[in-house]
Amino acid sequence: MKAKIRKIIVQVDEIHQDGGKPVSPPTRRALAMAVIANPYAGRFSDNLDELIDIGEELGGLLGQRCVQALGMAPEQAQSYGKAAVVGEGGELEHAAALLHPKLGAPLRLAVSKGAALVPSAKKQGTLGTAIDVPLGHKDAAFVRSHFDAMEARVADAPRANEIVVAVVVTDSGRPHPRVGGLQVHEIAGQDGLR
């Protein structure tokens, strides 16, 4: 592996009740995070290939960890998202190198299909910085019931020379969606939008 991983963290959030009304079956969201060394910390580099390759490794690893944590087949995944928090020795572009060029393809393999753009967020931060990983339906970005976010945060990371990379995969939308819009059963799944 090119990634120098210090920690991997996996969280599962199961919501059984919201607003006084039971959620049946419970909605489930899994978040997998890797705390990695930033190979470009403390220096400016025009070329960010190393992080691009690390992004590819982590897309598969973190996507699989999420699916595994939910104990489901890849086909049961419904929405996804990704994010990165760059420690103060790095730059925002380092998050972009991890997230955008190559992370998506192996993540899509882990969740099967994935016609839609993977929603993303990035920021610079420090130990315990929280980032809200945006979520959207993996096959049709306009599915309104699946617009959501899951908070990602590692208490002791990122140190200055580290980056926290996060992937979220769910088996459901929000607990009680009722604001209309495109429904899951109406997905065409061709253009990634509808």
Partner 1 sequence: MMSELIELRRVFTHVEEIHHEFGPPAPQPLCRGAIAAVLRNPYAGSYHADILPMMDALNPLGVELAKTLCDAMGVKPERIQGYGKGAIVGAAGELEHGALWHVPGGYAMRELLGWKGERASYTQGGGGDKPTGQPGNALAIVASTKKVGPPGAALDVPMTHINASYVRSHFDAIEMRVPGAPHADELIVILAMSTGARVHARVGGLKAEDISQWNGLR
Binding site for partner 1 (CB under 8 A): 5-18, 26, 69, 130, 150-151, 153, 155
Cα dihedral 109, 62, 170, 25 sign:
positive
d(CA 71, CA 148): 21
Sort 93 into a burial class: Cβ within 10 Å, 0-12 / 13-18 / 19+: middle
For residue 32, give both structure tokens: 């997998």
Q: Which is nearer to partner 1, 23 or 109 (CB)?
A: 23
- To partner 1, the closest distance from the beta carbon of 45 in angstroms equals 22
With respect to partner 1, which residue has the nearer C-beta, 12 or 73?
12
- Minimum distance, C-beta of residue 59 to partner 1, in the bound complex (Å): 18
Supply the minimum distance, in Å, between the C-beta of residue 26 and partner 1: 8
Ordered alpha helix ranges (H), 70-170 = 92-99, 104-111
Instruction: Tell me the closest approach of the beta carbon of residue 116 to partner 1, in angstroms.
Output: 24
Nearer to partner 1, 12 or 188 (CB): 12
Structure tokens at 162: 């580290």
Closer residue to partner 1 (CB): 26 or 189: 26
